[in-house]
């Protein structure tokens, strides 16, 4: 099976070599667990390998994205427009977002020739809509847009506060071919939080089901694939 | 009593020989627990024994199903149309799905002469409808279609995040003659997930009520019927 | 006080001799806990003692009921129409069910001269209705129909997944004179489920409040009234 | 302060001599915990002391109430109409019940000269109404009817399954001057239920806040006021 | 900072000398925890110090309030009208209550020259209204009425059954400058309830954050400020 | 990266030097945990460093804010109008608040040249609106107003009673670049509450993920960055 490197150190080992080509992978977790960082790192790995990438954001605007990436020395501005397409969706205007996704975005992603796509975050996207069926629709539209373009993608999603192993809208995991959980678990009698990663689902490949510690350093996320939690 | 072999290694032993003929068995569990794999394996076992099979999917399209099966060396394409009918229902269009199930599907399944039917997933099917009574209706329609054709079937269903022993819509277990739970339970102080299977209900036969470990290998699911969890 | 034998081995001892005559007893529990089996056994005990019995089902149709009973060597077909009335209510058509129960069923049960009545399941019955007051109404109608006929009855009901000591609709226990819980509790560090029975309420008689193990064997349910759980 | 004897052996000691005169006492607990028995015993104690009593029931009809009381050798029929007024409210017809309570019941209770009143159960009464404000209204109407007549009363109420220290509608404790909890707690590693009583609130008097075991014997409820739970 | 004595023995020590002048203090807790007693004691302390006091009740009427106070030898009737204004709001008539609070009450409290005000209970007040915004409005109106009059006040409020540290409507703590929790916690292996007090919030002053036992004796509440819970 | 000093002793160390310039930081926690104190301290630190500051309050009015600050010897009145703008939003009038924020506030903050902005509390702001999308809108408007002005800000927010790591409306954490939790955790067998601070999220900077004790003294909040909780 064809796979692509995630660019996240340690993760590809847990996936038997990488993310299956064409998969939509949901990266879920509570806020502050590193979902955006992982998504950017995935994009940056594509950029330095000369792949075309699309980064769709509802949380941060163009400038903010570039600044955030720069903190890890990922120079998104070097690639903008030629290899990197930054798309900002307005988290307020539900109607125009639906129209945009429905009419243009599929074509845009496809025309651009995207190999990697990020949607940050799918939760803010579904949160824009009141009705369950609209939430489902926008998510399927987005997913189909990416699949048609033949791209591999990461959709970030907030996890449910009362159960971090499930996404907030409870829909994202249906759209996704894989689900990776980034979580913060209390260590040392609950007085400190430790970042951990766990692959909950990945179609068409066997994978680790362990919880692995990871950290966010100067070069982004590194998963300690061989370190056991005590 | 007449029974049919599930094709899942180890499972038939727990069921005193197999699934009672004509049963609708709900296979419930969280995402990533192997429900689709079990459903495909059930179908493949029918195919190689020359039984006619129908695979109804709302999650994956035709190509994707074939690809997923191929990962386990189950060559669905060898059987397509002659012995295997792949039906893709659109998880977005509630109205047309209801019409299709109500009018044609019963006839289709029956005309095809299906011995085994899979519905993957019943959760996505009920999720399409807003009203409780519509959810119930589509589920009963589907179930009746299968029963009338005299087929034995597996309906997969997501389990409730807060209580994996119950299906997400809370309806599937009413339609089903049997309920098999696929679950991921934390082992080793919660830092790793272990796959386990448990038969929660099976009409007209006695059965194991133990939790059995299983794994997903190159040839699909194997239940370790004789292995005790520590 | 007049009592009738339940026919369930061991249960009558826990009830000081049997179910008080004329009682409506709710048998609640999760799916797969043996509620239908207990209801059928109660009916069969009446049949072999030459009592007229009515079995009202929403879950299984005529054929299915007979087949299920036959697994325990209870030959329902020997008694059909003369001593056993099988009534199938359609779990989909709320309106006609309400009409039927309201107009005819009371008369039918009474004319038949029923001594024992089973409703399997009250949960499916109330689930047919959207509004709380309709749920309550159908349940009271059904209960009154049975009471007027002077019959003793068992109404099965699914228990709440998050609290098995309460029925799913939270209404059944108001209608019932008695409540018997069939439950599955995890034994051996949670890796196996054990069937247990507990009488939660029984008007006009003292009763055991212990949890008793039971099993489902070839001749139906046997309660181990004298066995203590460790 | 003037007090009246409850008639429940052991309870008056926990209340420093009895229920304060004119109080409305909510007796809450799960089904099967003895609420109706306690209410009947309270009435019977009035009857044998020549007090006029009113028993308002939504659960059982006239015959059933008399039969249930007779199980404890409380001969309600000896007192009927002269000293005991049995009122049956239809748990189905919300409108007529509201009208009846609003217009006639206050007068009836007062004209009868009731010293003790029982309402069994307040939960079924409030359950008849859909809207929160109607529930509140019927409860206040009932309470005021009793207060105006100068009677002391017991209102039984189902407790919340997930928290037995609160009534099901969450309103009864606002109307009541006192709240007595009848509960079933698991003993011996959860395999047996023990009946316990606890006074949660009693205006204008100090009271025990301990949990006391009680049992239901041939002569009704006896609270073991001096027995400590282990 | 100016402070006023609460009159509750032991409490002022925990508050570094008393309640900050002009504060609205929410006293929250489950029913039966002594909220009304504390509110009355606060008023009585004002009365014997010749301060004008207003007691607004939704739970008890004029006579009942006087009787309840008399149990602690607090002779409210000696002060009525001259120094003590008793206001009874009808817990049923939402509209007229809103009008009364909106139009007259502010003026009344101010004209009377109230130094201390009690609202018993804020929960019954907000419970009268269906809509969230109405609940909020009545609470702010009441709070502003008191603030404008320059009075220090206690608003009692039921706490949430599932979390006693929060008020039932979830609004009272926003209006209040301080929150005091009266709670009943299980001692001795859960078989007895112990009354405890804890200051959860108090603007403009440091305060104890410990849980302190208290009891309700013949002279009202006494907080055992120096006693540690084991 | 440019950072600004929070003014809270100990906090800047946990943030590797201070709050990233231009960030909106949500300070969430239960009532009484010191959120308002931290916000005022943040403002005061700006004032004494000659920065222009805006304090937007929904909880306390002008006088009350000044009084509360004065308890910590922070003389807000010395700076009013010249360097400190106090804005009081009416927590009752949703419409006019929406209009004000939409039309004027952005301009006001920008014209004033604010470097630091506080919104106390974002929860009361969103609570004014019934509809989810209005809540989201007002929060984004407010956040954008601050961002456009180039100010660094603190938005206080009540945390969910059942899960203090999440804000009450579940929206604040989406708007914020950082989330700081102020919490009260039970120590010594639950009989005393200890104040603790934890940084849950901070974009573009690494940060401590430990829980740190803090206290509120005469000079405001001091975080004990080097003290470990036992």
Average pLDDT value for residue range E47-72: 94
pTM of the prediction?
Answer: 0.90
Query: For tokens 């009874």, what's the residue?
Result: E88
Chain C residue with CA closest to D94: the answer is: C133
Three-class SS of residue F218?
A: coil
Of the candidate ranges A4-18, D72-86, D127-141, E106-120, the one whose mean pLDDT is the lowest: D127-141
How far A79 CA sits from the closest chain B CA (Å)? 33
Sign, CA dihedral B199-B200-B201-B207, equals positive
Interface residues of chain F, partner chain E, Cβ below 8 Å: 30-32, 36, 59, 67-68, 71, 91-92, 94, 123-124, 127-128, 130, 158, 161-162, 184, 189-195, 216-217
Interface residues of chain F, partner chain A, Cβ below 8 Å: 1, 132-133, 136-137, 140, 160, 162-163, 165-166, 170, 173-174, 179, 198, 200-206, 209-211, 228-229
How far D25 CA sits from the closest chain E CA (Å)? 12
Q: What pLDDT does C188 receive?
A: 64
Residue from C223, C51, C29, C63 nearest C153 by CA: C51
Tokens (6 digits) for E204? 């403009």
Rounded to 5 degrees, φ, ψ at E124 are -65, -30
Q: What pLDDT does C151 receive?
A: 96
Of the candidates E31, E68, E191, which has its C-beta nearest D200's C-beta? E31
Chain D residue with CA closest to C131: the answer is: D130
- With an 8 Å Cβ cutoff, are E136 and F130 in contact? no
CB B117 within 8 A of CB B56: yes
The tens digit of pLDDT for each residue in E155-184 reads 999 999 888 889 998 899 988 999 999 999
- With an 8 Å Cβ cutoff, are A209 and B216 in contact? no
Chain E residue with CA closest to D213: the answer is: E191
For chain E, which chains pass the contact test of at least 3 CB pairs under 8 Å? D, F
Q: Do chains A and B touch (3 or more CB pairs under 8 A)?
A: yes
For chain B, which chains pass the contact test of at least 3 CB pairs under 8 Å? A, C
Q: What pLDDT does D162 receive?
A: 84
Q: What pLDDT does E225 receive?
A: 81
Residue from C159, C209, C206, C203 nearest C184 by CA: C159
- With an 8 Å Cβ cutoff, are D32 and C200 in contact? yes
- With an 8 Å Cβ cutoff, are F192 and E204 in contact? no
Of the candidates D133, D201, D210, which has its C-beta nearest E130's C-beta? D133
Tokens (6 digits) for A224? 């300690």
Strands in F161-219 per DSSP E:
163-167, 178-187, 192-202, 211-217
The tens digit of pLDDT for each residue in F56-86 reads 999 888 999 999 999 999 999 999 989 999 9
Distance of CA E144 to CAs A17, E152, E175, Å?
66, 12, 9
DSSP D176: -
The tens digit of pLDDT for each residue in D60-95 reads 889 999 999 999 999 999 999 899 999 999 887 888
Q: Which positions in chain F touch E173 (Cβ < 8 Å)?
A: 31
The span from the CA of D219 to the CA of D213, in Å, is: 16
Q: What pLDDT does B157 receive?
A: 96
Look at residue D230 and tell me whether its pLDDT is greater than 90: no
For chain D, which chains pass the contact test of at least 3 CB pairs under 8 Å? C, E
Q: Do chains C and D touch (3 or more CB pairs under 8 A)?
A: yes
pLDDT level of residue C190 (50, 70, 90 thresholds): low
E215 bridge partner residues: E222
pLDDT level of residue E154 (50, 70, 90 thresholds): very high
Q: What percent of chain E has pLDDT over 90?
A: 73
**In terms of C-beta density within 10 A (0-12 exposed, 13-18 middle, 19 or more buried), how is residue A151 classed?**
buried
Chain B residue with CA closest to A136: the answer is: B92
- With an 8 Å Cβ cutoff, are F202 and A32 in contact? yes
Distance of CA B153 to CAs B43, B75, B118, Å?
9, 20, 6
Look at residue C23 and tell me whether its pLDDT is greater than 70: yes
Q: What pLDDT does F120 receive?
A: 95
Q: Which positions in chain D touch E128 (Cβ < 8 Å)?
A: 133
Q: For residue B196, count other CB atoms closer than 10 A to its CB.
A: 22
The tens digit of pLDDT for each residue in C33-67 reads 999 999 999 999 999 999 999 999 998 889 999 99
- With an 8 Å Cβ cutoff, are D179 and E32 in contact? yes
The span from the CA of B131 to the CA of C129, in Å, is: 12
Q: Which positions in chain E touch D172 (Cβ < 8 Å)?
A: none
How far D202 CA sits from the closest chain E CA (Å)? 7
A196 bridge partner residues: A183, A213
Q: What pLDDT does A95 receive?
A: 86
Interface residues of chain A, partner chain B, Cβ below 8 Å: 1, 132-133, 136-137, 140, 160, 162-163, 165-166, 170, 173-174, 179, 198, 200-206, 209-211, 228-229
Say which residues have a Cβ less than 8 Å from residue E156's Cβ, sequence separation at least 6: E26, E27, E28, E35, E36, E38, E39, E118, E119, E120, E121, E122, E123
Of the candidates C59, C158, C184, which has its C-beta nearest B209's C-beta? C184
Of the candidates D68, D92, D184, which has its C-beta nearest C204's C-beta? D68
Say which residues have a Cβ less than 8 Å from residue B187's Cβ, sequence separation at least 6: B193, B194
Rounded to 5 degrees, φ, ψ at B111 are -60, -40
The tens digit of pLDDT for each residue in D90-123 reads 887 888 888 888 888 989 999 999 999 999 999 9
β-strand pairing of B19-20 with B192-202: unpaired
Q: For residue B111, count other CB atoms closer than 10 A to its CB.
A: 11
Chain B residue with CA closest to C73: the answer is: B204
Tokens (6 digits) for B50? 């020359």
Q: For residue D206, count other CB atoms closer than 10 A to its CB.
A: 13
F147 bridge partner residues: none
- With an 8 Å Cβ cutoff, are B210 and C216 in contact? no
Average pLDDT value for residue range D199-226: 92
**What single string gives the DSSP state of each residue in C82-146?**
TTEEEEE--SS-HHHHHHHIIIIIHHHHHHHT-SEEEEETHHHHHHT-SSHHHHHHHHHHHHHHH
Q: What pLDDT does A59 receive?
A: 85
pLDDT level of residue C95 (50, 70, 90 thresholds): confident
Look at residue F93 and tell me whether its pLDDT is greater than 90: no
Q: Which positions in chain C touch D192 (Cβ < 8 Å)?
A: 209-211
The span from the CA of A228 to the CA of A42, in Å, is: 25
How far B67 CA sits from the closest chain C CA (Å)? 35
Kindly state the helix (H) or strand (E) to which residue E108 belongs, with its residue range: helix E106-112
Tokens (6 digits) for C187? 């034994």
Share the mean pLDDT of chain B. 92
Q: What pLDDT does F190 receive?
A: 65
pLDDT level of residue E18 (50, 70, 90 thresholds): very high
Chain B residue with CA closest to A139: the answer is: B92
Kindly state the helix (H) or strand (E) to which residue D126 belongs, with its residue range: helix D122-127
Q: What pLDDT does D156 receive?
A: 97
The span from the CA of F78 to the CA of F50, in Å, is: 12
Look at residue C229 and tell me whether its pLDDT is greater than 80: no
Residue from B71, B193, B8 nearest A205 by CA: B71
The tens digit of pLDDT for each residue in B190-200 reads 678 899 999 99
- With an 8 Å Cβ cutoff, are B127 and A136 in contact? yes
DSSP D63: H
Question: How many Cβ contacts (< 8 angstroms) between chains B and C?
Answer: 60
C32 bridge partner residues: none
pLDDT level of residue D130 (50, 70, 90 thresholds): confident
Interface residues of chain D, partner chain E, Cβ below 8 Å: 1, 132-133, 136-137, 140, 160, 162-163, 165-166, 170, 173-174, 179, 198, 200-206, 209-211, 228-229
Q: Which positions in chain E touch D198 (Cβ < 8 Å)?
A: 193
Look at residue C91 and tell me whether its pLDDT is greater than 90: no
Q: What pLDDT does F188 receive?
A: 64
Q: What percent of chain B has pLDDT over 90?
A: 73
């Amino acid at each position: 099976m064809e796979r692509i490197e995630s660019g996240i150190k340690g993760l590809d080992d847990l996936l038997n070599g990488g993310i299956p080509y064409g998969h939509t992978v949901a990266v879920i977790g509570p806020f502050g667990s590193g979902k955006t960082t992982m998504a950017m790192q995935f994009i940056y790995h594509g950029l330095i390998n000369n792949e075309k990438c699309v980064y769709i954001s509802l949380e941060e605007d163009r400038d903010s994205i570039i600044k955030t990436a720069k903190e890890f020395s990922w120079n998104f501005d070097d690639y903008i427009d030629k290899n990197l397409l930054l798309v900002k969706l307005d988290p307020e205007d539900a109607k125009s977002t639906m129209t945009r996704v429905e009419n243009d975005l599929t074509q845009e992603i496809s025309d651009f020739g995207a190999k990697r796509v990020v949607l940050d975050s799918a939760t803010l996207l579904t949160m824009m809509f009141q009705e369950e069926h609209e939430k489902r629709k926008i998510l399927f539209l987005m997913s189909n847009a990416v699949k048609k373009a033949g791209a591999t993608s990461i959709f970030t999603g907030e996890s449910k506060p009362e159960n971090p192993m499930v996404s907030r809208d409870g829909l994202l995991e249906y759209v996704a071919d894989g689900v990776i959980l980034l979580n913060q678990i209390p260590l040392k009698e609950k007085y400190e939080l430790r970042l951990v990663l766990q692959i909950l689902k990945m179609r068409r490949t066997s994978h680790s089901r362990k919880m692995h510690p990871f950290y966010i350093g100067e070069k982004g996320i590194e998963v300690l694939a061989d370190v056991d939690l005590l």
